[in-house]
Amino acid sequence: MAFPQTRMRRLRSTASLRGLVRETELRAGQLVLPLFVDESPTRPGPARESIATLPGVERLSISALLEEAREIAALGIGGVMLFGIPAAKDAVGSGAWDEEGVIQTAVRALKQAEPELLVLTDVCLCEYTDHGHCGVLREDNTVDNDASVELLARVAVSHARAGADLVAPSDMMDGRVGAIRSELDSEGFVDTPILAYSAKFASAFYGPFREAAGSMPAFGDRRGYQMDPANGREAVREALLDVQEGADMVMVKPALAYGDVIGAVKRATRLPVAAYNVSGEYAMVKAAAAAGYLDERAAVLEILTSLRRAGADTIISYHSKDAAQWLAE
């Protein structure tokens, strides 16, 4: 039956009717807040440094991180995703698996202070290598996949040993999920889940993050390992390979221009899917809101809800604290 018997507006006429038939729900518990932990502040006590390209986001010392964590836990946010900014870097990124490294220290402190708050760690080398690539280099300056995978597995184990609840490899090397799973298992961390950054695209939207984390590649770009934004089928293939290798959750990143990929990965894998609403996507909204071009609260809640509708179970977003506050009101 069509118009005039059918009138789509009938079920939109009141807030109660709209609530009754709403298809998608957004909860604070589905959100993950990325946090930057900076090793350099040497004085004890909280230290925070603002990031020019990410208004409202700060680089935190470990004690500032603990202050933040208290607030985040109180808001009912699902978890935090930690990124480390080490005091020193080298060619192989050895700070990434150092038991006394910035992330390992931060995770131990966090799990002691807020045991209920889920701690996810980003497993990658780019913040720890002096050249800024996500793996180690061969003599010709190309990234050596298999040598990098061994190091990444070591990084993941060091995070699990520190108490990370989930490890999330973001490097886009081939075979790293399988290698991480088997290293975790052989070290006794059989219950530590892997959230694989399965479809991570070589995106212009990571710019503010690289500024924040100091992880801009010193030469070249990441297109030799991150995906071509033109490819959707390949993203599904990447996700299915990660499932075979033992991923517990898969991720699509960035999020806003990739709703089709989120949906396709969800249907193909049947795993929980995370969408990473990345730094550039956050910065765009903040800039437009600051200029008075749009209503920040309405825009953010619309974006996050739309990612849920696209198929994301979990959303990693710098908006998480604001969103959790708005959802509670």
Q: In angstroms, what is the minimal distance from the CB of 72 to ligand PBG?
A: 17
Q: In angstroms, what is the minimal distance from the CB of 49 to ligand PBG?
A: 17
Backbone torsion region of residue 76, taken as left when φ is above 0, otherwise alpha when ψ lies between -120 and 50, otherwise beta = left
Closest by CA to 177, choosing from 156, 161, 207, is 156
Catalytic residue among 89, 200, 266, 286: 200
Q: Is-catalytic flag, 200?
A: yes
Binding site for ligand PBG (CB under 6 A): 122, 124, 126, 134, 170, 206, 209-210, 215, 222, 278-279
Report how far apart the first and last C-alpha atoms of the chain are (Å, whole number). 40
Nearer to ligand PBG, 97 or 206 (CB): 206
- Positive or negative, the CA dihedral 123, 129, 134, 140 is negative
Nearer to ligand PBG, 202 or 288 (CB): 202
Contact 316, 256 (CB under 8 A): no
Give the contacts of 241 (CB within 8 A, at least 6 positions apart). Answer: 177, 198
Q: In angstroms, what is the minimal distance from the CB of 84 to ligand PBG?
A: 11
The angle that helices 296-310 and 259-269 make with each other, rounded to 10 degrees, is 30
Nearer to ligand PBG, 187 or 322 (CB): 322
Nearer to ligand PBG, 243 or 275 (CB): 275
Q: In angstroms, what is the minimal distance from the CB of 212 to ligand PBG?
A: 8
Contact 33, 318 (CB under 8 A): yes
**DSSP 3-state assignment of 149?**
helix
Nearer to ligand PBG, 63 or 306 (CB): 306
In 3-state terms the chain splits into helix, strand, coil percentages (rounded to 5) of 45, 20, 40
Q: In angstroms, what is the minimal distance from the CB of 290 to ligand PBG?
A: 19
Catalytic residue among 111, 253, 266, 321: 253
Residue ranges of the alpha helices (H) in the chain?
Answer: 15-20, 62-74, 102-113, 145-162, 176-186, 207-213, 233-244, 259-269, 279-290, 296-310, 320-328
Q: In angstroms, what is the minimal distance from the CB of 319 to ligand PBG?
A: 12
Nearer to ligand PBG, 192 or 317 (CB): 317
As a whole number of angstroms, the distance between CA 128 and CA 116 comes to 29
Closest by CA to 175, choosing from 151, 195, 196, 146, is 146
**DSSP 3-state assignment of 264?**
helix
Catalytic residues: 200, 253
